[in-house]
Structure 1
């Protein structure tokens, strides 16, 4: 297949491009500046000026749209939501319009489980769950999904939407990287009494699913929620990472309610939710429709990634 990838320089993008190239696909990647790794045929440009390079979309079987605004710390934007909309919604729609004009067969939009919400209470999120985005990032992603669905509904370009939960790996950015660094210190953790249930997915597992969705005929017009199995608590994740790093893992029995109060006092409510709240994903639709098999050994994969992080 001929596959065009945006966001190829990112954590997921690098892993995806290596996988696609290894599978024998012809890969074209979009970058703002020349990359320092092998990623196929390189197109220099950005999403602010799609017309300048949109001719490279001609003849593509699939465009995988990974690029977006995320992991923004200490942003000084007066209107954070509008900043996310500009990149994650508007640029995505403009790219899809260019795909239609250039005859691209399939457009894969990587969204976020945040579109469904930031917490589950007893029932896992599925494709049938009502969207309830809270954060500006998730709101912009959901608005993009809606506009893309309308745009491509009667177009010759298929739309596939994927909403992954936390994507982890030894070189992951954002919150997972902060957790890796924290575990690597060997200091005691306050999660001994945390029994939450969180779905996560390894970058390798996600890339395998994206590659499958790029070529499977039954993926057309579908929304997929994907995650590895089984679900784990934060306590479980920390122990698995510590094992891989050969670190001691003392888990202090701090009541979750105390952690919640403390996080509120220091303005870190969202961090408490991510560390102590539950967020489960039901990926049975992807397994049933595409025959996808998620990784079913999350603990051992986490341990392996912890070992890679320590070695690097």
Structure 2
């Protein structure tokens, strides 16, 4: 595949999409197009902006895909801890499966050569066994509606690629962190910054993470690399950490040594079960590792940013915004 000159990104104002668009603009491509849902998006003036509605199976994407070489589909109905929808499976299917296939079919009709789909490691499962990191070739075992919807979207995109010849690249990230990260990672930084004692000093699990900069670098590589065509790629920082080690490193990046109490894992799990927080306990104490050897070999790629460098950048952004907030 020749070097793309026109790239269109959905979810362009999200955590990953915004960083990707910023990198694409820096590459000075002739066309960087972004789908946004509202004005005041804050994107670079060099970006062509197309207004779209919420993800729906009947969206018209003609203006978005016209003249485009590669579509990067970042937009999704994301996983939420406190689900409020009456039928979560239907909501996820609508946004992550039907809407994705609708966009991809219109991309085919417009002559788009490659479709890069941001999926999720949740397609593989919620946790990996000790010494057995997930591989892209493993059978999927999603456990929640979000993971199930991503798996279904992957399958339909593969079928579309086989029918039409449009290349599809599926990228399954693990937990993404970086400047501006929200949710649990942000809460963790707040706890550490405040010096809150945490009962997490004896967690000996192993978890893969991926820095935003590393994920964006891989996505840029996937735009044109011939080895990426019709592949499923796992991505991480290639340096797995225990929850305890992660807390220590984040504390160091913040300049606030982590105050960790060595509570045994079995006791944490028992207490979490009693409090109805089993899933949260699994994320803290369980392992989730991925093997990215295939990704690195196919694309001759390595994560350009180390874990400690990425944590410093994440912590610095948090501290700077706290100062001005």
Q: TM-score normalised to the size of structure 2? A: 0.92
Secondary structure in 2 matching 1:103: coil
Deviation at 1:174, TM superposition (A): 2.5
Structure 1 residue 212 corresponds to structure 2 residue 216? no
In structure 1, the partner of 2:188 is 179
Structure 1 residue 97 corresponds to structure 2 residue 101? no
Q: 2:49 aligned to 34, 42, 49, which one? A: 42
Matches within 5 A, 1:68-107: 68-107=76-115
Q: Which digits, 9 at most, give the CA deviation of each residue in 1:50-94, with x for residues without a partner?
A: 653423312111000000011435332111111111111111111
- CA distance in 1: counterparts of 2:151 and 2:218, whole angstroms: 21
CA contact (8 A) 1:93 1:144 kept: yes
In structure 2, the partner of 1:22 is 26
Unaligned runs of 5+ in 1: none
CA contact (8 A) 1:263 1:269 kept: yes
Task: Report how many residues are paired.
Answer: 312
- CA distance in 1: counterparts of 2:227 and 2:257, whole angstroms: 47
Question: Could you say if the C-alpha distance between residues 53 and 117 of structure 1 is closer, same or farther in structure 2, counting changes exceeding 3 Å?
Answer: closer
Structure 1 residue 11 corresponds to structure 2 residue 15? yes
CA contact (8 A) 2:57 2:94 kept: no
CA contact (8 A) 2:9 2:73 kept: yes
In structure 1, the partner of 2:163 is 154
CA contact (8 A) 1:260 1:272 kept: yes
Deviation at 1:133, TM superposition (A): 0.5
Q: Which moved more, 1:66-75 or 1:156-165?
A: 66-75
CA contact (8 A) 2:35 2:64 kept: no
Deviation at 1:123, TM superposition (A): 0.6
- CA distance in 1: counterparts of 2:119 and 2:197, whole angstroms: 35
- CA distance in 2: counterparts of 1:51 and 1:120, whole angstroms: 37
CA contact (8 A) 1:237 1:299 kept: no
In structure 2, the partner of 1:249 is 258
Deviation at 1:157, TM superposition (A): 1.3
- CA distance in 1: counterparts of 2:144 and 2:155, whole angstroms: 17
CA contact (8 A) 1:55 1:102 kept: no
Q: TM-score normalised to the size of structure 1? A: 0.96
In structure 2, the partner of 1:109 is 117
Secondary structure in 1 matching 2:163: coil
Deviation at 1:246, TM superposition (A): 1.2
In structure 2, the partner of 1:271 is 280
In structure 2, the partner of 1:292 is 301
In structure 2, the partner of 1:233 is 242
- CA distance in 2: counterparts of 1:132 and 1:236, whole angstroms: 28
Q: Which moved more, 1:294-303 or 1:164-173?
A: 294-303
Unaligned runs of 5+ in 2: none
In structure 2, the partner of 1:2 is 6
Q: Which moved more, 1:15-24 or 1:292-301?
A: 292-301
- CA distance in 2: counterparts of 1:169 and 1:35, whole angstroms: 23
Secondary structure in 2 matching 1:263: helix
CA contact (8 A) 2:123 2:148 kept: yes
